[in-house]
Structures are given as C-alpha cells and as structure tokens.
Chain A
Amino acid sequence: MSTGEIGEVNKESGRPVGAARNSADLKLRVRGVVKSFGSLRALRGVDLDCEVGQIHAVLGENGAGKSTLMSVVTGLLAPDEGEMFLDGHEYRPQNSQVAMRHGVGMVHQDFQLIERLSVGENLFLGWDGAPRIATVQRVHEAAAAAIARFGFSLDPATKVQDLSVGEQQRVAVVRALVRGAKVLILDEPTAALTPQEVGELFVVMRSLASQGTTIIFITHKLREVMDIADHVTVLRLGERVASFPIGECDEARLAREMLGRDVVPLERDSAEVPEGSQVVMRVESLHARDERGLLAVKDVSLQLVSHEIVGVAAIAGNGQRELSEALAGVRQVESGRIEIDGSDITSRSANAFTASGIGYIPEDRLGAGMMLRESIARNAIMKALSVRSERARLTRGFLLRPREIENYANELLAEGQVSTRDAGVPVGHLSGGNIQRLLIAREVRIASRLLIAVHPTLGLDVGATERTWQTLLDARGRGIAILLISEDLDEVLTLSDRILVMHHGEIVGEFQNRTTPPTREQLGLLMGGATPRGDSVGVSA
C-alpha cells in the first residue's frame, strides 16, 4: 500500500568493476550501448564520458538517439548491449527509481509536475525521504529549507499551475537535487524559455556544476552548446560521430557533425517588402475569449500585407493561439472586425475563411489539423473542398472524383516530401514529422492570400525545419501574406519582415526586422511584460 519495493537497489552495483580502467574524475562512463526497437537500431554502440562538475552537451537531430540514450542512463530502457559505470562502479539501473537512488536524476522536457499541487508538495511527491505524516504547512517549511539550501528562490506554497515555465523548470531541478542527484540530465531545457529565463537557467547550471554536479544537457541548438557546455558529444543516426571539448570546435563544425552535411542557406527573393504590396487582412480592435471565458485577445489591431512575413513573438499562453484561431475563423470573436481584401468576414464560418484563401497551420496538428484515422487522401482534400476552384476539380455535382482526389493527394505528398506515396494509408500511420509536412503542404496550397502558421517547425529536425522555412519564404515570394506565430525566437528573427510582441493578449511592441532588428533581449523583456506599452525601442505602432 505504500510505495513499497519500488525497485531494489542493484545488488551488483556495490561491487567495484574495472575501477582502475578510467581516470578518477570520470563520473559517468557509457560503453558501446546498443538499443533496437524491432528493426530500428536507435543506438548503435554509443560511448559517453562525463566528468565530475562538467556540463556535457549531447547534441543531435530528432531521431539521433539522444532520448533513447538518456532513457538507458536513467533506467527507463534496458540496453541490448553495452555497459555503464558510475564513479567507476558498474551501473545497471532497472528503473528510474534505482537510477535516482544512485544519484542520476532527470528533468524532463515537460517537467513532470502535478499542476494542481503546490511547489512543496511536488518536491516531496513519491519520495521515500519525505516525512510520512506532515501537515501541508510542515511540507512547505521543509520545502523552503531545501529550496534555500540549493540556492533557489521559489515560494513552496504556490501551486505549480500558477508558476511561469521557467519557475516550473526550477521546481523540477530542485526536485531532482532534493533526491540527491549528482548527475542531472536536462532534456531540451531551453525549449519553452524566454531569453532571460535561458540566461537564468545557465547561471543555475554553472553554479551547480561548480558545486560538483555533473550536468548532461540535451539539445539541438548549436548556439546554446557554445554558450554553456564544457564538452560536447554529437550523435547522428544512433552513433556517436564526435566528442570534443568546447574550446576545440565552433558552430559550423558542430552543425556539420550533427547534420552530416553543410547547412543550406535560405533563399529570399527580396529583402524588402516590395512597393505596391496590398493589404490582405485588416484587423480592428479584436477581442476574443479563451476556453475558460477569460479575455485572451485584447484590442488587437493589425494589417497583414502581401509579400510580408509578420512574426508574433510571445510566451505560451499570452493570447497568440486565440489570436491565430480568431484570424483563421475557428474561434468566435467577442468584438472587433476582421476584413479580408476589404470585405468583412468577422462573423462568417470557418469555411468562408478558407474560401477566402486563408491557410492555417494550427498548434494542435494532430487534434485540430488532421483526422488520424482517415486516409491521407481524405485529409488532403478536407479543406480544398471549401475552395471553389479546387472543388470544381475534385467533385462533379454531389459526387467526389476519386482519381482526381488521389492525384491531388499525391501532389501534396510530393510537395511536402512525405515519405510515403500511398494516399490510401491512414494519416495516423505516418510519423509526426511526416504528418506535419503533409499539413503544411495542404495549407500552403489553400493559402492563396494569407497563411497563418503556428509553431510550424515545432518538433521538426534541422533538415525539415530548413525546408519548412524555405516553403514559407517561397510563399512570401509568390505574394502571400504570412502570419508566423512561434515561441522560437530564432525562427521569428530569421523569417520575419516585421515582428509583433504579444503579452497578456495585447500587442506591446512592433519592430521592422529588416531595418531595425530587435535583439533577443529586447524581445524577451517585452514578452515578459517588462516594458510598458509603446516604450520600447523601434516601436512604430
């Protein structure tokens, strides 16, 4: 009835094995780890050496084997072959509890916290070292002591759901430290952070490392590796292709090792938004509510012009999702006005928005974007049937024309470089990256006037990201207006002609990215709500 025997301590692990074989400072040594899932060889004999107090970056694209390797290290997966040593002793964790007892802790990308419990309750949850009987007050006192001991500042009584993303991450870090983590694995820790929060995280990482914690930093962002890591190991297709101290490499070399090729530069047909661009969409003092009935979009006015990419930078939950849905016609508007090509479509149906030439890549691709059990063909024509010209091609009266539909689907498969040519397969059988490419191809095809893209490259690897960016730039070249909503500031800064910053549902800053590009810090401050409206450098709104 209690947590019981959640995994016994590995009996063999007390025995020193091959202690003389490695230098005394090696904290974790991984040798020749192989792991296969069916016919897929996810890890093909990977080595990893981490020293005490080292920040060790593990760099690789999606599917390179980073997550699989970390699952092996934390006991979530048993390796097919290979061995691991911790402090020179053989280390073979059967599950994550055993790994934790050996001092190997992980901070997952989604932090794995219980949102409706307090910070203090989360710190001690499921931990044998927590007091058995304690009032919430006592738990919070103990948590406050632990938080202070590791040099953090967090209120233990706050519910996790009321914390910012950066604070939630700190809770997850403290939770691992409280349980005695000496090896701390951070899985893509900067993915959802603002530049300021990334800075704070790096300070924390540096300070922990200086106190002797070994940090394994999983990432695919080259700049962050150069900024914070002492040593980097690069994985590609399940193999370790390089491992060197940070002083011996640069970003270009890391990119080459990670991709196995050079980075393709983006092609942009014109740096400036050309003269004579027309206003495609005009939005006037738009208000919209979220699912909880709270006002999520407040008094937003904007114009989207052909041949222009407008990037929206905002921290998750600041109204950008609701804004994108309202502009795509799938969220009811509280008040305000949306015009496309001069005609008011504010209260028209989502079909009418599509028929007006608005393509929409939603945040929730699997839920809102695709019907997973239906075939690729069915999904491909889902929105095309709302567009008059495409409908003429795909239907005859009430009847669908199967051959044309298949052709149409095959065109999308080719345009999106989806790795199947069989349009009869259910979409759910495709990988996440392939589904996303199909969705992007479908929406780009529909978007004769405007494309609304929400996190278009989230979860894509570097190669697919490059292709998606090029697709967006090509669409811009054809004169389509693009609204790009992304939490990835690199993406916003790379692609946008103009950048809007949203905070608490309002637009709090605007930058002409081609002439007066903002710094990441400027954007980060505005996104965090630091500067009052209209006060920032470069605001022209």
Chain B
Amino acid sequence: MHTFELSFAAALLAATPLLLAATGELFGEILGMMNVGIEGLMLMGAVTGVIVTLHTNSPELGLLCGALAGAAYLLVVYGIPVVVFMTEQVLPGFAVWFIGLGLSQLLGNNYENTSVSSSSTVVGLPGIDRIPVIREMIGHFPWPVYVAFVLPFGVAWLLGHTRHGRNMRAIGENPATAATGAGIAVMRWRLFYVGVNGFFGGFAGAFLAVVAVGAWGPDVTAGRGFIALAVVIFSAWRARWLIVGAAFFGGLLILVELGGALAWPIPPDFLSMFPYLGAVIVLVIWSIRGRRGELSAAPTSLGVRVMSRR
C-alpha cells in the first residue's frame, strides 16, 4: 500500500484548480477587485475545455480555449460593469456565478458524462523518476499541476520586484490617487487584470473537467470556486502562501475519497463538509490575527466602488 504517497498526489491534483483560480483572483484583488463568482467562471472554463477537447482531441487546446473563454466571460459580465461603468462589485460577482451556472449547463447539455482523455498532458519530472516515494508523490502529473505550483513564485516576484507590480499595488491601495497622483491609467490596468483573473479561473475550470475529472457535468466544480476565494484570504494576499492554502484545502477535499478507501467510520457526507468548515474556521482565525496586525492586510480599496474616470 502506498496510501500516503497516493493521497499526497491526489491532494496536489485537487489543489491545482484551487491554486490556479486563487492566483487569478489574487491578481484581481491586488488591484482592488473582488470577484465572488469564481464558481461560475470555472464552470464556463470547464464546459468550454471539455467541448473543445472532444471536438479536437487535444486537451492542450481545450485548456487554452477554456482559459480564453474564462477571460472573455469575466470581462463581459464583471469587467465592463465594475471597471467601465464603475458599479459596486458584489452583484456583478453573483452574476458571474449564476450566468455561468446556467450558460454552462446550456452549452454542455449534449456533452454530459462523455469522458475525455487527457493522458497526453501527463509529464514525468526528469530525474525524479528514479527516487522511490518522491516519485509516487510528485513524479507524474499533468503539466498544469507544475505550472500552478510555480506560478505563485512568479507572481510574488512580479509584485515585489518590478515597477509593474508596485503600480498594481498602488491601484489596489487607492485607485483615484494612483490615477491622479502617480499618473497610472487605472481603468486600463484594471480591465487587463480582470482578463487575467478570468484566464486563470477559466484555466482552473478546464483543468478540473478535462484533466482531473475527465468529463463535463454541471456539478463538476462543487463549490471549489468559493474555496479558491477562501484560499486568497488564507494567503493574506501573499502570492507564495496561495500554495500553502491550496494544499491545505486540497487535502480537505480528498478526505471523502480517503475515508471511503480506508473505510473510516465517518459518513462521507460529513467528510465532504470539511473544506467549507475549514474555510469558515480559517476566516475566523485570520480575522483575529488580522486585527492584531499579524498579517498583511487586504488591499485598502478591495471591494470598494471606484469613482474615478481615469
């Protein structure tokens, strides 16, 4: 039995869509834009990814189209009202969720429960193949898993070491001042990062359906979009901590399967609550620590309606 190694690998696989979606959401939130509808965004990416993969037999193309569909979808449903027409952010976020829920079912009606193959995406890490234990743990994954776990390091570098990243943070702190005081074209930057957010959210959904599950179904995300939102809060807006948060929630997500496999005397329905229970507990702990000033606080303008024309 390799229970530990296999569970570890399964947890990383489960963590990947959370990590991708949370990374996208972090981009948006750094610029002050909270999108509560990641769930709907992931569904749009998922259904697009499966349809394209089934028609082209190319999971790579499916993932790319899922990501692009996510970007386009989020720009239209969230970016235009929030950034261009300067509405508040919660209702457009709900629109992203509900429209995504309905639209993806409509599009995916004829593709439900048709399995897709994505074995071509699996790559082996050179060198690791020969180390026992580690090989089972991280040796063979679809490439998006590796991408997802490297990405936050790139984001951390972008935010901490570049002019571009400092401008991003300035917009998230105070959009009006960033525009008039520092001369940043705030509206353009915010639209761009709505697109980036949508890209990674769509990619996350496409990965989930095409690679992790291997089929489309309207319940494929099962609340993972909301967990991704919790991952961002867990990270306290520090990119590298997204990895820790996603791994933590990924671990909670596989508890159901693990419990079944090991015949734990706990009802599976109860186990499937754990990620959401975990999210609530994390929020409470983080809120307490945040009030004590132990964590870096959220971008000051997060969720705030922007009233600047520029």
Chain A: residues with CB nearer than 8 A to chain B? 1-4, 6, 76, 95-97, 100, 108, 111-117, 121-122, 124-127, 130-136, 139, 172, 175
Chain B nearest CB from A376 CB (Å) reads: 26
In the bound complex, CA of A480 to CA of B310 (Å):
49
Residues of A within 8 A of B121 (CB): none
Contact A114 B163 (CB under 8 A): no
Partner of A133, one of B162, B178, B181, B183: B162
Q: Spell out B's residues near A (CB within 8 Å).
A: 160-164, 166-167, 169-170, 173-174, 177-178, 180-185, 188-189, 192, 300, 310
Interface of A (DSSP majority class): loop
The answer for the CA separation of A134 and B180 in the assembled complex, in Å, is 24
- 6 smallest CB-CB distances across A and B, nearest first, come from A112-B181, A126-B182, A125-B182, A126-B184, A126-B183, A114-B173
Shortest distance from the beta carbon of B235 to any chain A beta carbon, whole Å: 18
CB distance from A26 to the nearest CB of B (A): 27
Quick one: which of B169, B182, B188, B192 has the most chain A CB within 10 A? Answer: B182
Report which residue of B162, B163, B167, B178 has the largest number of chain A beta carbons within 10 angstroms of its beta carbon.
B163
Instruction: Please tell me if the beta carbons of B162 and A134 are within 8 angstroms of each other in the complex.
Output: yes
A162 CB, nearest partner CB in chain B, Å: 14
Asked whether A117 lies within 8 Å of B173 as measured between CB atoms, the reply is: yes
| Alpha-carbon gap, A76 to B177, bound state (A) | 14
24 interchain pairs (CB within 8 A)? A2-B164, A3-B183, A3-B184, A4-B185, A76-B180, A96-B183, A100-B183, A108-B181, A112-B181, A114-B169, A114-B174, A114-B177, A115-B173, A117-B166, A122-B182, A124-B166, A126-B167, A126-B181, A126-B184, A133-B161, A133-B162, A134-B163, A136-B160, A175-B181
Contact of A1 among B163, B177, B181, B192 (CB under 8 A): B192
Give Cα A2 to B166, complex, Å: 12
A126 to B166, CA, bound (A): 8
User: 17 additional contacts, CB 8 Å, given A127-B183, A132-B162?
Assistant: A3-B183, A6-B183, A76-B180, A108-B180, A114-B174, A114-B177, A114-B182, A115-B173, A115-B174, A117-B166, A125-B166, A125-B167, A125-B170, A132-B163, A133-B161, A133-B163, A134-B163
Nearest chain A CB to B60 CB, angstrom units: 24
Q: How far is the CB of B182 from chain A (nearest CB, A)?
A: 3
The CA of A95 and the CA of B189, in the complex, are separated in Å by 17
What residues of chain A lie closer than 8 Å to B189, measured between beta carbons? 1
What is the CA–CA distance of A112 and B174 in the complex, to the nearest angstrom? 9
Distance from A374 Cβ to chain B, minimum over Cβ atoms (Å): 22
Q: A112-B180, A114-B178, A126-B183 are in contact. Are A4 and B160 (CB under 8 A)?
A: no
Chain A residues, Cβ within 8 Å of B192: 1
Chain A nearest CB, measured from B124 CB (Å): 33
Contact call A6/B300, Cβ cutoff below 8 A:
no
Bound Cα distance from A30 to B153, whole angstroms: 52
- Using A112-B177, A134-B161, A134-B163 as known contacts, say yes or no to A117 and B170 having CB atoms under 8 A apart: yes
CB pair A125 B162 closer than 8 Å:
no
Shortest Cβ distance from residue A188 to the other chain B in the assembled complex, whole angstroms: 16
User: Are B166 and A121 in contact (CB-based, < 8 A)?
Assistant: yes
Q: Contacts A116-B300, A133-B161 known; A127 to B182 CB distance under 8 Å?
A: yes
A96 touches B180 (CB 8 A): yes
Whole-angstrom distance between the alpha carbons of A122 and B188 in the complex?
20
Determine the distance from Cα of A172 to Cα of B164 in the docked complex, in whole angstroms: 21
**Interface contact A111-B181, CB-CB below 8 Å:** yes
In angstroms, Cα B300 to Cα A139, docked, is 22
Query: CB distance A117 to B181 under 8 Å?
Result: no
CB neighbours of A2 from chain B (8 A): 164
Closest B-chain residue to A133, C-beta based?
Answer: B162
> Which residues of chain A are within 8 angstroms of B181 by Cβ–Cβ distance?
108, 111-114, 125-126, 172, 175
Separation of A438 and B164 alpha carbons in the complex (Å): 47
Q: Across the two chains, which residue of chain B brings its CB closest to A6?
A: B185
Asked if B161 and A117 make an inter-chain contact with CB atoms under 8 angstroms apart, the answer reads no
Residues of chain B contacted by A134 (CB below 8 angstroms): 161-163
Residues of A near B300 (CB, < 8 A) are 115-116
Chain B residue numbers with a CB within 8 Å of A131 are 163
- A96 / chain B contacts, CB cutoff of 8 Å: 180, 183
Residues of chain B with a CB closer than 8 A to A139's CB: 166
> Which residue of A1, A100, A111, A126 is within 8 Å of B178 (Cβ)?
A126
